[in-house]
Amino acid sequence: MATLKSDVFAPDITWNLPGHHPLSGIKRGPDEVIAFFAALMGSGVVVEDVHFGTMEEDGVVERHTATACWRTARPSTSRRAATTASVTAGSTRCRSTRATKHNVDRYFWAVNPLKPIPDRLG
């Protein structure tokens, strides 16, 4: 992760994971993006079968399979996903896409429950 932060990510990197769950939204800067990656790994998501390609002059696309275990009696789920990145003059914007957004929302809510009300409001 240190190499990503120092050698790969632009200082103004943004990473957007669409959805309606605790990990969705835009992360700004290398520290937030790395914290997001750590939260993904801590949520039981395993990324494999990764492939990269180019799009136009300033684009990169990454395709992968993400597998996650619901930590319940439910079987693991495996979904194809993709990340597109636009890199221009030292600036990077990334956006992840999922084919089954509602299932992803349900998964992340199941493994990342909210704190009790007193802790959330403090």
Q: Which residue has the higher pLDDT, 58 or 28?
A: 28
Return the pLDDT at 87.
Answer: 62
Give me the chain's average pLDDT, please.
78
Tokens 């300033």 identify what position? 58
Return the pLDDT at 75.
Answer: 47
- 2-109 is a CATH 3.10.450.50 domain: yes
* Residue 31: pLDDT over 90: yes
| Pairwise CA distance, residues 78 & 44, whole Å | 12
CB burial readout 41-64, b (16+ within 10 A) else e: eebebebeeeeeeeeeeeebebeb
> Among 73, 15, 70, which residue's Cα sits nearest to residue 45?
70
Q: What is the pTM for the complete model shown?
A: 0.73
Q: What is the pLDDT of residues 74-116, one digit of tens each?
A: 545 555 566 666 666 566 777 777 667 787 888 888 888 888 8
Q: What is the DSSP letter of 7?
A: I
CA 100 vs. chain centroid, Å, equals: 14
At residue 73 the predicted structure's pLDDT band, cuts being 50, 70 and 90, is very low
Q: Given the DSSP bridges, would you call strands 45-55 and 59-68 parallel, antiparallel or unpaired? A: antiparallel
> Among 6, 11, 1, which residue's Cα sits nearest to residue 92?
11
* Residue 32: pLDDT over 90: yes
Domain boundaries, the chain: 2-109
The first and second tokens of residue 5, run together, are 């932060």
